[in-house]
Amino acid sequence: MPRRTRKPEKKPIEQYDHKEASRTNNPPVGLVTPETDRDAGKKTYAYDLHIDPSLQFDPQRSQIEQIIDDALAAETVEEAKSALSELKKRQAPYLDWAGKAEHT
């Protein structure tokens, strides 16, 4: 004989309140945008839109790819760790966004 299924007990629905906050009944995320929120102003960034990024060739890129291949082919953990530490030493950006840094 099949077992009887129990009906789950209904949990009471609680209201979304923040009584201790200065903004009571704060709406959930997504309903307030920076334009409609009077408490937070519009965010501004300090950078020059008219400066193009300068692409610089990285001659060590092929060496870095070789280090990654060596780390993937390593048979011991120590070999992989040494390859990854060498990779960390050689990391450098190859796209220079000079003058476009955002200062907040």
Domain ranges of the chain: 59-96
- pLDDT tens per residue, range 3-23: 777 777 887 766 666 667 777
Residues 31-79 have pLDDT tens digits of: 667 677 777 666 666 666 777 766 666 667 778 888 888 888 989 999 8
Residue 95, pLDDT above cutoff 70 = no
Residue 103 — pLDDT band, cuts 50, 70, 90? Answer: very low
CA 61 to chain centroid, in Å, comes to 25
Tell me what pLDDT residue 57 has: 61
Q: DSSP code of 77?
A: H
Q: What is the three-class DSSP state of 51? A: coil
Residues 6+ apart with CB under 8 A from 18: 24, 25, 26
Comparing 29 with 11, the larger pLDDT belongs to 11
Class of residue 32 by CB neighbours under 10 A (exposed 0-12, middle 13-18, buried 19+): middle
Tell me the Cα Rg of the chain.
28
Backbone angles phi, psi at 76, to 5 degrees: -120, 160
